[in-house]
């Protein structure tokens, strides 16, 4: 008998841009599917028509594509309302869904009273005691009900979480969840469970803030007579300051992209955050996928540090081939130029600064006491063979003529030729600057 394929899903609501937290969940679902030769579904959870916007749907697709997380198919919850209505009626007929009429203010008062008595703020199921006359009265008053899923209190809700291990919830300590508002619109829980069944989802990777939702949804799967997916609840991301960071909720892919962060850097960092595996910069995600293992995840909060992302980004850039970045480089920069400056870059955009150093003009550096030395350097630059390794030919000639060595030999030349004290290897940079520009800069500095 052939085993069913692994199916995962990423189910964002199109009410805003993707940020690092939900991209991490998308990435881990994608990695698990790819590792097992399965399918990764993008499911747009757009049941909230008032808050969902098509521009955010487009942005979600674009961000996932930029990251290389290409879904095998896309689904829209807004296209499935008839299916949700059908399951709703089945569960209502089976006594698992019931109407309730309390206002938000009444429910808040009930919770406050329960807390004041030292009790958990669990819904008291008062709506189950309503008579036919009560329902008729509410209807006559024009009060429309919201709808709750009735939890079965007979046994604990248990599952073996792929990250957290064995989990157990007492359903009597949970409120019967509201699944549908009075205006007929849907909340998250039931449509998501229906979709997981209909779409054959086998595994769900999401944040640990959904653990109690999973307990509720497991009973929904049971009520539908359906098998449930395996769940993996990963620790939430925290900021570098060691507590939950509001900035993480606003750190969007568009912001990272505009700041020069490469998609491979984001994937490399988020793939390993929260695991025992070291973060490694990888242009090709295949090794990350191959090593992905829920057993490597820990329970401690996963620390996201923008400084670490910047470091990973630089190390990714140092691996990028010219062909990958050619369309983002300044006009005239060829493969030799890219390879010369690449080891000094933190972002690809910085290549333009170094290309300006090559092509000039650059600000003339005052020669000071090195004027005679730079005049000698200009003369040597005219005499050496530029067809081979002009930097070493130049410095070897100057070392022999002046006796200089080390910093005294190299630094005045670097300053005059590039306008900077540090930078790419001069052996790679000087051929790009070329003989004419090099002599011009040396002579201008020598003249003062």
Binding residues for ATP: 246
- Within a domain: residue 339? yes
- Within a domain: residue 219? yes
- Domain extent for 337: 322-359
- Within a domain: residue 68? yes
Whether 54 and 17 have beta carbons less than 8 Å apart is answered as: no
Asked whether residue 62 falls in the same domain as residue 119, the answer is: no
Asked whether residue 40 falls in the same domain as residue 171, the answer is: no
Asked whether residue 87 falls in the same domain as residue 230, the answer is: no
Asked whether residue 61 falls in the same domain as residue 18, the answer is: yes
- Within a domain: residue 302? no
Query: What are the CB-based long-range contacts (under 8 Å, 24+) for 154-162?
Result: 157/215, 157/218, 157/219, 159/214, 159/218, 159/228, 159/231, 161/211, 161/231, 161/232, 161/233, 162/203, 162/230, 162/231, 162/232, 162/294
Binding residues: 246
Q: pLDDT at position 364, please? A: 80
Closest CA to 356 of 391, 377, 329: 329
Can you tell me the distance from the alpha carbon of 388 to that of 376, in angstroms, rounded to the nearest whole number? 21
- Of 297, 332, 359, the one marking the end of a domain is 359
Can you tell me the distance from the alpha carbon of 69 to that of 403, in angstroms, rounded to the nearest whole number? 58
If DSSP states are collapsed to H, E and C, what string results for 354-378? HHHHHHCCCCCCCCHHHHHHHHHHH
Closest CA to 189 of 155, 217, 157: 217
Q: pLDDT at position 363, please? A: 87
Q: pLDDT at position 367, please? A: 77
Q: How far is CA 252 from CA 47, 69, 247, in A?
A: 23, 16, 10
Can you tell me the distance from the alpha carbon of 377 to that of 446, in angstroms, rounded to the nearest whole number? 9
Whether 46 and 259 have beta carbons less than 8 Å apart is answered as: no
- Within a domain: residue 258? no
Asked whether residue 328 falls in the same domain as residue 197, the answer is: no
Closest CA to 126 of 109, 186, 142: 109
Structure token pair of residue 305: 């540090």
Can you tell me the distance from the alpha carbon of 268 to that of 285, in angstroms, rounded to the nearest whole number? 7
Q: What is the CATH number of the domain that holds 124?
A: 3.90.800.10
Asked whether residue 87 falls in the same domain as residue 156, the answer is: yes
361: cis peptide before it, omega within 30°? Answer: yes
**∠ at Cα 46 (143, 184), nearest 5°?**
15
- Of 359, 380, 410, the one marking the end of a domain is 359
Q: pLDDT at position 365, please? A: 78
Asked whether residue 213 falls in the same domain as residue 346, the answer is: no
Asked whether residue 73 falls in the same domain as residue 109, the answer is: no
Q: pLDDT at position 251, please? A: 80
3-state secondary structure of 125: coil
Instruction: Write out pLDDT tens, residues 134-167.
Output: 999 999 999 999 999 999 999 999 999 999 999 9
- Classify residue 93 as exposed, middle or buried by CB count within 10 Å of its CB (0-12, 13-18, 19+): exposed
- Within a domain: residue 266? no
Asked whether residue 96 falls in the same domain as residue 174, the answer is: yes
Whether 403 and 391 have beta carbons less than 8 Å apart is answered as: no
- Within a domain: residue 265? no
Q: pLDDT at position 245, please? A: 58
**Residue found by looking up tokens 């990973």 in the block:** 312
Find all residues with CB under 8 Å of 346, minimum gap 6, and list them.
260, 310, 313, 314, 317
pLDDT mean values, one per 10 residues, the chain (448 residues): 82 93 96 98 94 95 97 97 98 98 91 88 95 95 96 98 98 97 96 98 96 98 98 90 62 92 98 95 97 95 92 98 97 96 97 96 85 95 94 96 94 95 95 96 90
Asked whether residue 52 falls in the same domain as residue 127, the answer is: no
Q: pLDDT at position 1, please? A: 43
Asked whether residue 223 falls in the same domain as residue 344, the answer is: no
Structure token pair of residue 321: 């081939």
Q: What is the CATH number of the domain that holds 393?
A: 1.10.10.350
**Ramachandran angles phi, psi of 38, nearest 5°:** -100, -155
**Residue found by looking up tokens 């007492």 in the block:** 170
Domain count for the chain:
4
- Within a domain: residue 52? yes
Instruction: Write out pLDDT tens, residues 300-343.
Output: 988 899 999 999 999 999 999 999 999 999 999 999 999 999 99
Whether 38 and 8 have beta carbons less than 8 Å apart is answered as: yes
Can you tell me the distance from the alpha carbon of 33 to that of 199, in angstroms, rounded to the nearest whole number? 14
Structure token pair of residue 208: 């640990």
Asked whether residue 348 falls in the same domain as residue 374, the answer is: no
Largest CA distance in the chain: 109
- Of 149, 180, 211, the one marking the end of a domain is 180
């Amino acid at each position: 008998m052939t085993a069913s394929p692994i199916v995962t899903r990423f189910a964002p609501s199109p009410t805003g841009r993707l940020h690092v937290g939900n991209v991490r969940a998308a990435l881990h679902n994608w990695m698990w599917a790819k590792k097992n030769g399965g399918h990764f579904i993008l499911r747009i959870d757009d049941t909230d028509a008032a808050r969902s916007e098509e521009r955010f749907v487009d942005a979600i697709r674009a961000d996932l594509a930029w990251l290389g997380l290409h879904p095998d198919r896309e689904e829209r919850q807004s296209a499935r309302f008839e299916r949700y209505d059908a399951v709703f009626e089945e569960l209502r007929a089976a006594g698992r869904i019931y109407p309730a009429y309390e206002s938000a203010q009444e429910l808040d008062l009930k919770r406050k009273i329960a807390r004041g008595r030292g009790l958990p703020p669990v819904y008291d199921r008062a709506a189950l005691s309503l008579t036919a006359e009560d329902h008729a009265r509410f209807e006559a008053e024009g009060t429309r009900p919201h709808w709750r899923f009735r939890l079965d209190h007979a046994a604990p809700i248990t599952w073996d979480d792929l990250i957290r291990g064995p989990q157990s919830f007492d359903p009597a300590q949970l409120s019967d969840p509201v699944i549908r508002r009075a205006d007929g619109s849907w909340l998250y829980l039931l449509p998501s469970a229906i979709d997981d069944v209909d779409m054959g989802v086998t595994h769900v990777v999401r944040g640990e803030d959904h653990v109690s939702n999973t307990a509720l949804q497991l009973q929904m799967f049971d009520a539908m007579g359906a098998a449930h997916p395996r769940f993996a609840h990963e620790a939430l991301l925290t900021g570098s300051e060691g507590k939950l960071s509001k900035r993480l909720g606003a750190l969007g892919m568009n912001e990272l992209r505009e700041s020069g962060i490469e998609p491979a850097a984001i994937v490399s960092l988020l793939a390993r955050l929260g695991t025992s595996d070291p973060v490694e910069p990888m242009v090709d995600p295949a090794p990350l996928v191959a090593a992905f293992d829920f057993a490597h995840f820990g329970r401690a909060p996963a620390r996201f540090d923008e400084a670490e992302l910047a470091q990973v980004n630089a190390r990714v850039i140092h691996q990028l081939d010219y062909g990958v970045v050619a369309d983002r480089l300044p006009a005239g920069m060829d493969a030799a130029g890219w390879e010369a400056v690449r080891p000094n870059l933190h972002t690809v955009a910085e290549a333009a600064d170094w290309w300006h150093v090559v092509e000039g003009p650059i600000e003339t550096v005052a020669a000071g006491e090195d004027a005679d030395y730079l005049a000698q350097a200009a003369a040597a630059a005219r005499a050496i063979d530029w067809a081979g390794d002009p930097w070493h030919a130049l410095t070897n000639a100057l070392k022999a003529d002046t006796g200089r060595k080390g910093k005294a030999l190299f630094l005045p030349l670097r300053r005059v030729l590039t306008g900077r004290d540090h930078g790419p290897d001069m052996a790679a940079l000087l051929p790009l600057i070329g003989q004419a520009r090099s002599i011009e800069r040396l002579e201008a500095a020598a003249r003062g």
